[in-house]
Amino acid sequence: MLLRRSFSIHRVSPAGTYGATTEIVVAAAGPGTRELTRLEAGASVSVIGPLGKGIPLPSQPVPCILVGGGCGSAPLFWLAEQLRERGCPVEIVLGAATADRLFGVVEARRVADGVTVTTDDGSAGTRGWVSDVLPDLIARTGAGVLYGCGPMGMLRSMSAIASDHGIVAQVAVEEAMASGVGICMTCVMPVADQHGTTKMVRSCTEGPVFRGDRVRWEAFDDGLCRVPADAVGAPKEAR
């Protein structure tokens, strides 16, 4: 296993049975994650972190909706606790393809004011996608910020919904990150800055959290990310 695997931080505890702990959530999806899930208690692993830029919190109390897809919901519960400490009402929406791929439904009910569950096949909660329930939830709660972590397609749709309602979406992207420290350039993606200039930025150092309305979602297609023609440094056609 030459390359590392990147994970969101699920929770940090300053004290406990084993002392201070940092928790992550691992789904055994490939050889690397399967190897991690086979580790026994007390085994040693090499870790670099925390890395990247974290999730920005509102300066004033504002209703917030947190959206998680599958295991992508892992960092949202700690975020919910931080938001509620700041006086922000919090709703959590958890979505997955099937009920057995949902994560944290019970914990969400502990840390949020309300929880909505969706599954593609209807095996739990509302049948459909998280994007199906967001418009009504935004209208009902008067949400001013959406936070999301999960598949790129989900983040794209919730960013569009946020823009339609004139509110901000903060999304933690799921780009492949091989080094995690900005050396390998495998996680670059097109993001517009505050002046509207598109640059290819590294998800691991400039992100992984970005404003949803600044990500050039149209550049993503079938798991690939292409360089927009108007991005800084994009190759020009020969004349």
pTM of the model: 0.92
Q: Which tokens hold the place of 91?
A: 């709703």
* Residue 198 and residue 192 in contact, taking contact as beta carbons nearer than 8 Å: yes
Tens of pLDDT, residue by residue over 61-118, are: 999 999 999 998 999 999 999 999 999 999 999 999 999 999 999 999 999 999 999 9
Mean pLDDT in residue range 179-204: 92
Tens of pLDDT, residue by residue over 23-71, are: 999 988 889 899 999 999 889 998 988 899 989 999 999 999 999 999 9
116-to-99, 159, 188 alpha-carbon distances in Å: 13, 18, 33
Mean pLDDT in residue range 189-204: 95
Q: Is 11 helix (H, G, I), strand (E, B) or coil?
A: strand
Q: Is 188 helix (H, G, I), strand (E, B) or coil?
A: strand
- pLDDT > 80? residue 1: no
